[in-house]
Amino acid sequence: MDTAVEVRELVIRRGGREVLHGISAQIQRGVITGLLGPSGSGKTTMMRAIVGVQVVRSGRVTVLGRPAGSPALRRTIGYLTQSPSVYADLTVRENVRYFASLYGIASDDADQTIRDVGLADQARQLVGTLSGGQHSRASLACALVSRPELLVLDEPTVGQDPVLRDELWKRFRQLADDGATLLVSSHVMDEANRCDRLLLIREGEIIADDTPAAVKAAAGTDDLDQAFLTLVRNRTEEGS
Ligand SMILES: Nc1ncnc2c1ncn2[C@@H]1O[C@H](COP(=O)(O)OP(=O)(O)OP(=O)(O)O)[C@@H](O)[C@H]1O
Ligand SMILES: [Mg+2]
């Protein structure tokens, strides 16, 4: 197996409380891995550790063969944070071209990325005047524009309508087909079905690491929502 990210025995404390309790996982290259779990389970924290912006209590995170946070990784990782991180007083195009320029990417490629996220009509609009869904797609364009080898996308489809969500997932698939590694967090199980692998996280522990089909088979159901609930319940019973 060709591993892009290896997480070993990762322990993280935030606000004086342990929020990741020694998790281990491997994220394969060139595929889409979904990171699923309830609100507060530790998805964003795990992503922050992979991107290298999170203080780690113990354990190890290796990204593309280097320790997470290594300067050499900066250009190879695209990170979409959960809250929009674009400049409100610039237009969509100015924002995306700015991020492109940091990586020596041509403006034509920036314009293509704007089209890819469905913002062609808003390219000249100030980001501060966009709708919520448009605003997060502007952030997504900035994460995608450098064509990074590893994309860490924290809830990239929140606030998007079903048509746009479908288009964005097709785009993610295309990027994986072209060789990129994607880690995508979500609460939505129909999106989980579109991933090659799933990491299910609950209260700072990984409770499943498998393909969607295997997760469903293990829980004895065809419904991923149901499978997740079953795994959570089994785990709770084991612990009691
Ligand atoms: N800056 C912080 N200070 C203290 N505690 C924090 C901080 N950020 C997150 N936490 C806590 O860490 C835990 C994990 O949070 P995290 O943001 O990783 O969850 P999440 O799975 O991404 O949730 P959501 O689905 O709501 O985005 C939560 O209990 C949260 O309250
Ligand atoms: Mg989060």
C-alpha triplet 192, 197, 198: angle, nearest 5°: 55
pTM as predicted? 0.94
54's CB contacts (< 8 A; 6+ apart) are 12, 45, 48
Name residue 183's beta-bridge partners.
Answer: 33, 152
pLDDT for 181:
98
The pair phi, psi for residue 11, each rounded to 5°, is -120, 130
pLDDT for 190:
85
pLDDT for 85:
82
pLDDT tens for the chain, residues 1 to 240: 699 999 999 999 999 999 999 999 999 999 999 999 999 999 999 999 999 999 999 999 999 999 999 999 988 999 999 887 899 999 999 999 999 999 899 999 999 999 999 999 999 999 999 998 899 999 999 999 999 999 999 999 988 999 999 999 999 999 999 999 999 999 888 899 999 999 999 999 999 999 999 999 998 999 998 998 888 787 767 655
pLDDT for 18:
97
Confirm if 44 and 35 have CB atoms less than 8 A apart.
no
Confirm if 127 and 91 have CB atoms less than 8 A apart.
yes
Per-chain residues with Cβ under 5 A from ion ligand 2: 43-44, 82
167's CB contacts (< 8 A; 6+ apart) are 118
pLDDT for 144:
94
Confirm if 67 and 51 have CB atoms less than 8 A apart.
no
Residue nearest to atom 12 of ligand 1 (CA): 19
d(C-alpha 69, C-alpha 152), whole Å: 14
Record the tokens describing residue 97, joined without a space. 């071209």
Instruction: Say if strands 77-80 and 66-67 run parallel, antiparallel, or are unpaired.
Output: unpaired
Pocket test for ligand 1, best of 44, 81, 206 (most atoms within 8 A of CB): 44
Confirm if 50 and 201 have CB atoms less than 8 A apart.
no
Residue nearest to atom 31 of ligand 1 (CA): 40
Record the tokens describing residue 89, joined without a space. 């007083």
Record the tokens describing residue 52, joined without a space. 């290298």
For residue 240, the number of C-alpha atoms closer than 13 Å in the C-beta half-sphere is 6
- Ligand 2 centroid to Cα of residue 166, in Å, is 21
pLDDT for 1:
60
- Ligand 1 centroid to Cα of residue 126, in Å, is 30
User: Which domains are delineated in the chain?
Assistant: 3-82+149-239 (3.40.50.300)
Record the tokens describing residue 35, joined without a space. 């990171």
Pocket test for ligand 1, best of 13, 23, 43 (most atoms within 8 A of CB): 43
